[in-house]
Amino acid sequence: METKIFKIASIFENPDELQQAADILARGGLVAFPTETVYGLGANGLNEDAVHAIYQAKGRPSDNPLILHICDTEMLPQLAREIPEVAVRLALEFWPGPLTMVLPKTSRVPDAVSGGLDTVAIRFPSNLIARELIRRSGKPIAAPSANLSGSPSPTTAQHCIDDLMGRVDAIVDGGSCGVGLESTVISLVRQIPTVLRPGGVTVEQLREVLGEVRVDPAVTHPMAEGQKAASPGMKYKHYAPKAKVVLIDGQQEAFVRYVNERKENGVFALCFSEDVPALKVPVVCYGGKEHPEEQAHALFDALRRLDELGAALVFAHCPAKDGVGLAVYNRLLRAAAFDVVKI
């Protein structure tokens, strides 16, 4: 299949390109597009065949449900059967933005979107290109991250091109994504609101609005054999570069010593800028130690770079585990398949 590339500087400068991309979506095609979190691979979320095509293009297991993206809260009632008061409060505080809410679904939401669950995940992105695409297509847009299943989520159009060229109808190039990690997913169908995936909206921020908020154990722990996932995405190995990644949890000096003692061909460090001067192995830096937002923004590109550089074994310096750091930690844990060394 031929993949069109639409370069969009802004929604005001390139309305024609945006319209062409929106028309492809409305016709049932697949379009990769930027959001403030990561690039999404979009399709008309009410068109069962279009949604199936997403799974095919990504090579994604079909029991892993998709997020529906809206551009207006007026689209919500046709998708969610109940809109509890907590959802209204969260929408007022965090929408548009990097927060996805899991709510009971209406019968309009195809099973292909919900992976057979009776709930649906909904997000109202803040990225203007994303919003304008959704508005012009006139549909809620189902969109997982626009990577091949298993590889790190794309934060630039080039990442999408690397993974999906020839597999999708179009890629909208709208520059690099601000947050750099996928949205926070919160389930509102349980007694206590529960974070299924941490992201740019932090658990601390959610607690300020809602009071009690739980964090699903699968955010920081591997799932036991046979355990049922609250969020099916959590059971798959994710974000993984081809190299083996080990997460090293310790202070700067200990980290540097640990890595330098294991210097060998193919050994790399994925580290903070403060670690760089003392390291004797090749490094890819993912931001400053005290700057989780910077780390979030850089992480997925850093994981892809490690592969390009031919890394075989990567020692990654563990981030903080609170605020946006929790989201960075969650992705790195998965990249490392939960292989953590505490030093």
| Number of chain residues interacting with Mg ion (CB under 5 A) | 1
**Structural tokens at position 156:** 């630039």
Which residue lies nearer to ligand TXA by CB, 152 or 279? Answer: 152
Partner that binds at residue 114, options Mg ion, ligand TXA, none, CB closer than 5 to 8 Å by kind: ligand TXA
Q: Which does 259 bind (CB under 5 to 8 A by kind): ligand TXA, Mg ion, none?
A: none
Residue 145 touching Mg ion (CB under 5 A): yes
Using rule CB under 5 A, residue 231 touches Mg ion: no
CA–CA dist 263, 284 (Å, integer): 15
Q: Which stretch binds Mg ion (CB under 5 A): 59-67, 145-153, 195-203, 321-329?
A: 145-153
Binding stretches for ligand TXA (CB under 6 A): 35, 37-38, 40, 64-67, 100, 102, 114, 117, 119-121, 123, 143-145, 182-183, 185, 196-197, 231-233
Does residue 184 belong to the site contacting Mg ion (CB under 5 A)? no
Half-sphere exposure of residue 101, counting CA atoms within 13 Å on the CB side? Answer: 30
Q: Exposed (0-12), middle (13-18) or buried (19+): which is 320, by Cβ within 10 Å?
A: middle
Report the alpha-carbon distance of residue 243 to residue 299 in Å, rounded: 15
Q: Is 242 exposed, middle or buried (0-12, 13-18, 19+ CB in 10 A)?
A: exposed
The minimum distance between CB 122 and ligand TXA, in angstroms, equals: 9
Question: What is the smallest separation between the CB atom of 253 and ligand TXA, expressed in angstroms?
Answer: 36
- Residue nearer to ligand TXA on the CB measure, 95 or 272: 95
- Name the one residue in this structure whose structure tokens are 């969020």: 231
CB atoms within 10 A of CB 192: 11
CB of 273 to Mg ion, least distance (A): 27
DSSP secondary structure of 298-342: HHHHHHHHHHHTT-SEEEEE---SSTHHHHHHHHHHHHTTT-EEE
Q: How far is the CB of 215 from ligand TXA (least distance, A)?
A: 14
Residues lying near Mg ion in the complex (CB under 5 A): 145
